[in-house]
Amino acid sequence: MSVPRFWRRLKNLYNLIGTHCEKCKEYYYPPRNMCPRCRRTGVIVPFKFNGKGEVVTYTIVHSAAKDYVRHTPYILAIIKLEEGPRLTSQVICAHEDIHIGMKVKSAFRRLGEESEKGMIYYGTKFIPLETVK
Ligand SMILES: [Zn+2]
């Protein structure tokens, strides 16, 4: 991945910015350059999601890639944003609390770091919207 593309992606992850088609009113995350429904007639504009959504399904990951070992086990969920798009993200909460339909909101968390260059990767994770059940 090229450097500019990396940072663009980073910015999108950080701000949860996707796109919205003004013609068919559909929302997209990750952002798309062209509306798959309207094609050339679509009117694509950037859209910042409010970060609220709910858990569609989840899994608890016990083994992960080398860089993520210290984070295991962790919860990986498919989140449906209020505006409609779905994305896969980590959910930070007690494992006994996670459930389908749980309301969550995005939170800015560090995903990992590359030791040699000292580069830190940031990304969106999700936390429970209400901590009190
Ligand atoms: Zn469209």
* Residue 22 CA to ligand 1 centre (angstroms): 7
On whether the CB atoms of residues 125 and 109 are closer than 8 A, the answer is: yes
pLDDT in tens, 26-53: 999 888 999 999 999 999 999 999 999 9
Residue 49 sits at the vertex; the CA angle it makes with 92 and 81, to the nearest 5 degrees, is 60
CA distance 47 to 24: 14
CA distance 85 to 83: 6
On whether the CB atoms of residues 114 and 121 are closer than 8 A, the answer is: yes
| pTM, full prediction | 0.74
* Residue 16 CA to ligand 1 centre (angstroms): 20
What are the boundaries of each domain within the chain? 3-128
pLDDT in tens, 53-98: 999 999 998 876 666 556 678 899 999 999 999 999 889 999 999 9
* Residue 46 CA to ligand 1 centre (angstroms): 13
CA 33 to chain CA centroid, Å, is: 18
* Residue 41 CA to ligand 1 centre (angstroms): 8
* Residue 29 CA to ligand 1 centre (angstroms): 14
What is the CATH code for 3-128? 2.40.50.840
